[in-house]
Amino acid sequence: MCASQERHATVAATFTQRATKTNHPLASYLFRLMELKQSNLCLSADVSNARELLSLADAIGPSIVLLKTHYDLVAGWDYHPKTGTGARLGALARKHGFLIFEDRKFGDIGHTVQLQYTAGTARIIDWAHIVNINMIPGKAAVKALAEAAKHWRSRVNYEVNTSVTVGTPVSDLFNDNGDEDEEADTVGAMHPLPQSAQQHDSNTTTGRKGSIVSITTLTQSFEPVDSPRVSTTINEGDELVYAGIEEPPWERGLLILAQMSSAGNYFTPEYTQACQEAARDNKDFVIGFIAQGTLNTEPDDNFITMTPGVQLPPEGAEDEAIAGDGLGQQYNTPTKLVGDAGSDIIIVGRGILKAGAPRAEAERYRRRAWKAYLARTGQRS
């Protein structure tokens, strides 16, 4: 960690403290969720089919605060907006308490990235709380995504509440022989009168049974909402909400890809600095960075840093550097990234997915990363 990072207040601050100092509702929610679950683990769910993805999210969900997806890798992805794969992931996210991060790495001109984000078959903005951008096109692309998210947010700011009431006026006037006046019933059904008029009609007609007409009243109101309501289109058994915290807010968040863990990448210091500047210019949308350590350097910075390229040595081994994968990926340990470099969330994929017991291995990563965070902030582990 460089000297400026050592001095920055966010390195030693707790997630609870940082939650109160951000104006971004989703960032605040994520900070509080991490403290509640005692987890700063993101699972990179790079699997090849939708059934496996949903099963993995359900199994590992209790250990994570973020699920990172690549929807275009998933065979059998159901694009239905209400009952498809994105909606089902949303139900699991509510159930287990995690956010969905679609690792789309937008990297085109502003108009194009807006359409990629909000339109097409995937409609990423509808189900992914967080996305990221490769800022090669320049700062304008960040602004374009921010505008798209703001427009989308304004459209979902209200929910429609529909109330239906059914009333049946009751009359105690009947014919002596109990027969209904068919003509009166037919007229009442075709042209229902106000209740008072119907009662008056039945009370002033001699020798006829009063018309029994159901009155249906439909009312609608628009209610402002800060977070999504639980969907009614998913099976009832999936409608659980993680205890201890409200549902995530409607606001969406962006991560800027500022640094990479792959060997020989072309991300220069000038590029990383431009990423920091773009984040500060769009604080109402950008929540942080994908980077190899904290990039908070200005006094008002409170961005979340998420770092991939994490792997643990076998159980019982010392916390030491791990060899790469032979394809350019370089690995490091949670202690070095969270404790030394100041990262907030570790992103782990193959280290968990290829383990003999993925659920247990996810818990091992969660415990190690959380221990590093507690040590960094001077809390008891």
Instruction: Provide the token pair at 203.
Output: 């009370």
Buried b (16+ CB within 10 A) or exposed e, 167-178: eebeeeeeeeee
Handedness of CA 117, 15, 282, 280 (dihedral sign): negative
Amino acid code (one letter) for 347: I
Q: Which residues are annotated as a binding site for substrate?
A: 46, 68, 261, 329, 349-350
Residues 6+ apart with CB under 8 A from 247: 94, 227, 228, 229, 230, 241
Q: What is the largest CA-CA distance in the chain?
A: 99
Instruction: Provide the token pair at 248.
Output: 């995530």
User: Smallest Cα–Cα separation from 125: which of 147, 143, 109, 108?
Assistant: 147
Instruction: Provide the token pair at 153.
Output: 């947010």
Which residue is listed with tokens 């940082």? 18
Q: Which residues are annotated as a binding site?
A: 46, 68, 261, 329, 349-350
Looking at the DSSP bridge assignments, the partners of residue 334 are none
Catalytic amino acids? 103, 105, 108
Q: Are 259 and 291 in contact (CB under 8 A)?
A: yes
H or E segment to which residue 126 belongs: helix 124-127
Q: Are 64 and 366 in contact (CB under 8 A)?
A: yes
Give me the DSSP letters along 186-255: HHHHHSPPPHHHHHHHHHS-TTSPPP---EEEEEEEEEE-SSPPPPSSS-GGG----TTSPPPPS--EEE
Give me the DSSP letters along 244-312: TSPPPPS--EEEEE----BTT----HHHHHHHHHHHHHTTTTEEEEE-SS----STT---EEEE--B-P
